[in-house]
Amino acid sequence: MTDQPPHPSADHGHVPVMVQQMIDLLGPALPVGGAGSDSSPVLVDATLGAGGHAELALRTYPHVTVIGIDRDESALAIARARLADFGDRISFHHARFDELPEVVAAGGHTRIDAALFDLGVSSMQLDRPDRGFAYAVDAPLDMRMDPSGTLTAADILNTYSHGELARVLHEYGEERFAGKIASAVLREREREPFTNSARLVALLYETIPAATRRTGGHPAKRTFQALRIEVNSELAALSEALPAALDLVRVGGRVAVMSYQSLEDKIVKREFAVRTASRTPPGLPVELPGSGPEFALITRGAVRPDDDELHTNPRSAPVRVRVIERIEEKG
């Protein structure tokens, strides 16, 4: 390992979560020689953002190349500037992470050594009021991670039926009062379409019972999460991208996922459970040759941020980290 700063700078508007721990967890998958004797190890940063994790990986492992993917053009612009000194050791791709196989193939790779998914909304997006992710400030109801997308949070509020809206709030926000909120939204949008977040937040304060508001956190948190997930198809994209990354990783390669809410974490846990299960038919007394698990868990349960991380970066509090390693070739 080369000398490096203890933590990538926050000068780029984003403090990466658990950055040193993540690079250390992926390190054993990044040996000299990589996926082939004539190639460098390949790390796919499927959620590049401002490039904090990628920067430390490039500094720590000077033989590694990084494929950086992000759906947010503004984040990619920041990462390009931040990582310009690394030249062709990193490539930048404007894409959703469920397009990972196409991006990897376009770079001429058939296998990868590691992949990192840092899910959810970034500090850069939360801190820009015009993006509409934060309920603490009045802003347009946008919430698109890729501003070139067509669906916005306002579109959902103003066009979805009662049943559709209640489903989104219940499934993606785990909101107990989904039906009641949907009814209030439909009633209010008849008077005037929703455009800004302050009006929605006020409606949620009026609709959610006072007892729940006192004990359940900010009343807008679950609704804003649900709208953001629906706008960006986040769970569907994760359900496609994670199996694709696991299929691409070589023996000895690792995939790390950082989840920030239970719905993401359930998808990761379920996929990891499938990949670490024996393929021997149930009931047989011994493992059939070639039917052992393809993967092994590196983290037992979810790794959480320590006190130092929480002090440095309070937004890391919800994160759950899970890492898996391929131990056998498929088939």
The answer on whether 86 is annotated among ligand-binding residues is no
Which residues lie closer than 8 Å to 316 by C-beta, 6 or more apart?
Answer: 17, 18, 305, 309, 310
Q: CA neighbours within 13 Å on the CB side: how many for 51?
A: 26
**Cα separation of 313 and 316, whole Å?**
6
The answer on whether 283 is annotated among ligand-binding residues is no
CB 35 within 8 A of CB 111: yes
Give 178: exposed, middle or buried? Use CB within 10 Å, 0-12, 13-18, 19+.
buried
The answer on whether 53 is annotated among ligand-binding residues is yes
130-156 pLDDT tens trace: 666 677 788 999 999 898 889 999 999
12-27 pLDDT tens trace: 446 789 999 999 999 9
pLDDT of residue 5: 40
With a cut of 70, list the residues of the chain below it in pLDDT. Answer: 1-14, 32-39, 122-133, 216, 331
pLDDT of residue 331: 62
Structure tokens at 218: 């900010």
**Cα separation of 142 and 133, whole Å?**
7
Structure tokens at 302: 């979810």
The answer on whether 97 is annotated among ligand-binding residues is yes
Largest CA distance in the chain: 68
Name the strand (E) or helix (H) holding 69: strand 65-70
The answer on whether 88 is annotated among ligand-binding residues is no
pLDDT of residue 32: 66
CA distances to 144, 187, 216, 250, 311 from 203, rounded to whole Å, are 22, 11, 16, 51, 34
The answer on whether 94 is annotated among ligand-binding residues is no
Query: DSSP H helical segments within the chain, as ranges?
Result: 19-26, 52-60, 73-82, 100-106, 123-126, 153-159, 162-173, 178-191, 197-207, 210-215, 221-232, 234-248, 262-275, 307-312
**Cα separation of 130 and 298, whole Å?**
39
CB 43 within 8 A of CB 57: yes
The dihedral sign for the CA sequence 142, 144, 150, 155: negative
Q: How many CB atoms lie within 10 A of CB 133?
A: 26
The answer on whether 253 is annotated among ligand-binding residues is no
pLDDT of residue 129: 60
pLDDT of residue 329: 87
Angle in degrees, CA 41, 122, 215, rounded to 5: 130
